[in-house]
Chains A and B, each alone.
Chain A
Amino acid sequence: MKRCAGRMGAVGRREFLARAGMGFGSVALATLESERAAAAQTNPLAPRAQHVPARAKRIICLFMQGGPSQLETFDPKPELTRLNGQPLPASYRSADLNLQFMQASEGKLMGGAFPFRKCGRSGLEISELYPELGAHADDLAVIRSCYHESFIHGPALTLMQTGSLLLGHPSVGAWVTYGLGCESENLPAYLVMTDSVIRNGGSSAYGSGFLPAVYQGTLLRSEGAPIQNLSVPAGLGREEQRRLIDRIQALNRSHLAGREDDSRLSARIANYELAFRMQTAAPELMDLSEEAAATRKRYGVGEGPTDRFSKMCLLARRMVERGVRFVQLYASDWDGHGDCPGNHKGNASRTDRPIAGLLADLKDRGLLDSTLVLWVGEFGRTPVMQGDRGRDHSPYGFSCWLAGGGIRGGKVIGATDELGFRAVTDRVHVHDLHATLLSLLGLDHKRLTYPFEGRIRRLTDVGEQTDWSPILTRG
């Protein structure tokens, strides 16, 4: 029970076993000793074997909330620049091209606002918005052909994070934690940080949906107490609280006598230990003062616009170092309806250095090979203009990129049409992206299942999905 030991010691083990369809009877008789051993084996958060060889052990998801424009970042469109100011050609119009605030046919085309540069040895094209990230071009695999079905923030975000437009489904991080378990002794497996409110109302974006709640993400605040109720009451202090907990534990253990068959009771005892440790581990995690000045600078800590997000990125590295499996960071707000170039310039100035710093730092520490980094928003933006500088939401074709975790960078997958409106080549649906992420983490999306309401559920819904990982990891 080296890692995560007492942690679950038991979290709803009985529930878990019952739901997982395993027999509970075999462990019900366990004495306290063997009970613990059994709990370690059947602990819902115990690290578990992968289905397939894993490229990555953990993942950092950089979620660009609001919907960053592919046309201003990773998808250069010379034809769009040429047709700047002209109406959308008739061939592009169709009844199912719904936008949130405008009719596609009403707007005029607007060329990408920033020039693209060929970066690195690979010559991967990245716009001038992201100069520092450009230096990592050879590590990035850009997918230009993402698409899905919702042009509204809330449902689109829910879809990206849970594979469903509806509430009540587990998030990707919950599925991954369910599939792989937890490697950290003192921290939850799945941590979330945001620089503002999450658009679909928050918890469902990192919730466990119909999976047991033990798999849900824990939201850390980037400032102040990172987890709710983590501060020991001032009038008690840590030592006295320890003595209080010792007594709680002593009485709970007496209560357990004769009730050893109920794993929830011993789980709860174990949880008081984890809770006590988390009170120290979480603030220790959040304390950036021990980081070298050079490291802080590399991320842009304390430097105006980058300060907030740089801290989140630096914390992400500290989390993965401590065995956290799934880190989700939200950067807001890319929703450039009024002035898309202006909005994006501001967002890029807040995120470019922190992201570049994160990639460089992970690499230097030898963590990048085993840590998958994903950059994505809930959708992209339209090539047609909204107002005179804006772009409306577009889920019909947008970009994301992956790095680390076995990804061979400097490549592009898929393409949108000449104007960057719809994904046309090697289209990658959200479910395909999810299947790919799971595969890189060693999980087969068709085998990572859970029975709920009479059906075998999975993150990728039903049907065949394309796993792009062989292509992404090929040299």
Chain B
Amino acid sequence: MRWAGPAPSRMLRQWWLPALMSTLCAAATPGVLGAGELWSLRPPIRPAVPKVRGADWVRTPVDAFVLAELERRGLRPAPPAERATLIRRVTFDLIGLPPTPERVLKFVDDPSPTAYETLVDELLASPQYGERWARHWLDAARYADSGGYETDIYYKNAWRYRDYVVQSLNADKPYDRFVREQIAGDELFPSDYSLDGSYVLPAAKKRALEARTATGLYTLGPQIHESNMDGKKIRSEWLTDCADLTGSLFMGLTVGCARCHDHKSDPLTQRDYYALQAVFAPSRDTEVPIVHAMAIASHRQHYPRVLALAEALKALRAFRSRTAGRALTTAEEEERRQLSDRVTNAALEIPENIPDAPGGAWDGFYEPPSITALGHVDPALHQPVRILHRGELSRPGAVVGPALPAVFGNGREKLPDLSDEQSRRKKLALWLTRPEHPLTARVLVNRVWQWHFGRGLVETPNDFGRMGGAPSHPALLDWLATTFARPSGTAGGLGWSMKKLHSLVVLSNVYRMSSAHRDAAAERADGENKWLWKMNRRRLEGEALWDAVHAVSGTLNLKAGGRPVMPPLSEEEMTALRDRWQWVVPFDASEHRRRGLYLLVRRNFRFPLFETFDAPVNSQSCPRRDVTTVAPQALWFLNNRTSLQRAEEFAARVSRDLATAPSPAGAPDRAWIERAWRVALGRAPAAEESRTALELLNEGRRNRATVPSAEGRIALLLFNLNEFAFVD
């Protein structure tokens, strides 16, 4: 629960009345409720898998838990989805892309009893899996490549954290380690970063750098950067972000309320809140080079080339100001040409690659590649955290040492001592990732469930407190949480493996149910489908739509990772940008067709398509995206240049496909249409659809359509279908 957003009393309100809070926050005894009174703070106990009457429907324990609730309410599960529907569902769900027509046919015709298991394994092994699920995680992690507010400062290294997430998911890094690295990668894997005189980074050092990259999480939040924001205030805002993010992302607790006062509904005191800030107080963001020592030496060795460029620029600028506002003489024209050449030549002299580093390019403009990550403040300069009266920086109170919220101890366990400044985050991370921690596993399995089904078992994934929703299936949540955190090999334990968790969920019969099933009684009793008597239909996110349009057009560039991309935008799309120079279109056109995940995420300028389709603002953790339906979404697919270009490419791709795999002679148009349907929707067209498409095709030909071409119009038709944007 929060007061006015992520940082309640940044509003310096003189007339704040604590009494009013009790009406807004649910009335309760502030601060000191026993943990036993809030279900989510009780460690989960592994429940027995329930007995159900319809045992033959049960494929995995997940099914038993869901079916038990259905039976209790007299509801019946929907029949399974058809195979063509199922492959489209699970492919978008696990890798964020549509299945290829070939894979659909193979799956539909596969006689093997494990055809679906094979498909799921294949998808989970795909490098695109990490990209799809990183997008979910990055929403919750409030990821962006810039700081927001007026200046929207550019975070040149944020993408390294994004790539870390992708790689960790693809490697199926156990979730406990994933959490530990993000909170305390540097403290858990200490390394000297002096990068001794070597041409290669030792493996241990690489490992340490990877873990440290993870702490980039805490360096990419929103940041006000304007004149006269004093350092103290910036620091206080940063500590607020650290505490709030740790609470929402890992613990599913909105701790921010306690910034101003003892939490009114959850057992958190103001002291607990500042004690959590104190965990981060000895830390700060640092830039750490990630190249071997010889590269740094080489950078320094060649530095005079940068000086030469600076001098060449000075000369050109001096010339320009000397001749500003008037026509140049012939001699001056010549001088200008020479000065420009000098700049160009000096720039070209600067080495492009890092000597002896395979594939190692300098970052940006001749900068050693680096990560922005957490490190430590010089102990001599470390400022202790003070309780702020009503959250106001100008009203500091008593110093607060670092501690975990007292309620977690609650007489049961002794919470770790966090006084050592160099290991506070490490102790927090280790404490959070004990298998018996009441929140960590529950919060994660709930997020994963939501991302699979569109709705969590707890509907408020960032709030497991008293103001959050109660779990619809508490036993299932606890069974999943305990199974997830249990070491692998022990009684079905998953050892924190996300991929195993996905398998457990998507192989269930619950997941395989039809979403289009109609059942009047069930609709009356449970119109929201809280009890999962059918699968939920999902609208694709902006990024998935971007990926899908490019994938079916055969133009998707599946290159992984790297600096965020700014694809070309139309004039009108650029109007919301503060300054045009903020948008730098890559020279290499294949970069313009990268996956949506890799497009630049500016806090002040969301990519227009994504903004239209409900991309989050990223000012704070976004647990669940809105799904709106507005007219500009239709306008994008009807009229946007990218949509029209991909439509032509889609048409060309379908023709190409047919040329390489000739279809039966006689009905080339029908074959074309069928192929188009299979590529875009993964199924053959119905007779009515085929007829409609044929009409459109012939009409376009009669009108000698060019752009969009007759075939391109079929592509536009397909892009605009509800079926294209929704997954059954």
Contacts and interface: CB of A to CB of B under 8 A. Distances in A.
B396 to A, nearest CB: 14
A252 B723 CA distance: 8
A201 B153 CA distance: 11
A248 B720 contact: yes
B170 interface: no
Interface residues of A, number: 95
A202 B626 contact: no
A101 B226 CA distance: 10
Given A202-B605, A462-B20, A11 B708 contact: no
Interface string B12-30: 1101110011001100000
Contacts, number: 275
Interface string B222-258: 1010111100000000000000000000000010000
A329 to B, nearest CB: 16
Given A29-B523, A240-B703, A455 B3 contact: yes
Contacts of A202: 576, 578, 604-605
B7 interface: yes
Interface stretch (B302-310, B336-344, B361-369, B634-642): B634-642
Given A221-B572, A255-B721, A454 B1 contact: yes
Interface string A265-282: 101110110110011000
Given A169-B5, A197-B578, A221-B575, A251 B721 contact: yes
A201 B626 contact: no
Interface in A125-149: 149
Interface string A442-464: 00000000000111100001111
A213 interface: yes
A402 to B, nearest CB: 23
B283 interface: no
A271 B629 contact: yes
Interface stretch (A20-28, A295-303, A381-389): A20-28
Contacts of B571: 224
A219 interface: yes
Interface in A229-277: 229-236, 240-241, 243-245, 247-248, 250-252, 254-256, 258-259, 261-262, 264-265, 267-269, 271-272, 274-275
A60 to B, nearest CB: 21
Given A197-B578, A202-B605, A219-B576, A272 B634 contact: yes
Interface centre among A151, A213, A232, A254 (most CB of B within 10 A): A213
Interface in A190-224: 197, 199-204, 207, 209, 212-214, 218-219, 221, 224
Nearest to A392: B228
Interface stretch (A75-83, A106-114, A159-167): A159-167
Interface residues of B, number: 104
Contact of A235 (B577, B627, B632, B706): B706
Interface string B631-663: 111111011100010000000000000000000
Given A201-B152, A453-B463, A168 B516 contact: no
B149 A213 contact: no
Contact of B604 (A11, A201, A252): A201
B603 A268 contact: no
A153 B632 CA distance: 30
A96 interface: yes
A278 B635 contact: yes
A155 interface: yes
Contact of A272 (B15, B689, B720): B720
A74 to B, nearest CB: 25
Contacts of A84: none
A25 B524 contact: yes
A157 B636 CA distance: 30
B contacts with A: majority SS: loop
Contacts of B608: 228
A453 B462 contact: yes
B478 to A, nearest CB: 22
Contact of A462 (B3, B12, B149, B603): B3
Contacts of A455: 1-3, 24-25, 467
A227 interface: yes
A225 interface: yes
Contacts of A461: 4, 11, 13
Contacts of A218: 632
A41 interface: no
A271 B24 contact: no
B154 to A, nearest CB: 13
A405 interface: no
Interface string A5-37: 001001110010010000111111100000000
B648 to A, nearest CB: 10
Given A11-B630, A204-B617, A214-B628, A166 B10 contact: yes
A152 B630 contact: no
A98 interface: yes
Given A268-B722, A271-B629, A154 B20 contact: no
B442 interface: no
A268 B723 CA distance: 11
Nearest to A213: B628
Identify the 7 closest CB pairs spanning chains A and B, nearest first. A201-B604, A25-B527, A154-B150, A454-B467, A28-B527, A275-B634, A167-B619
5 contacts: A25-B523, A224-B572, A229-B635, A264-B726, A462-B24
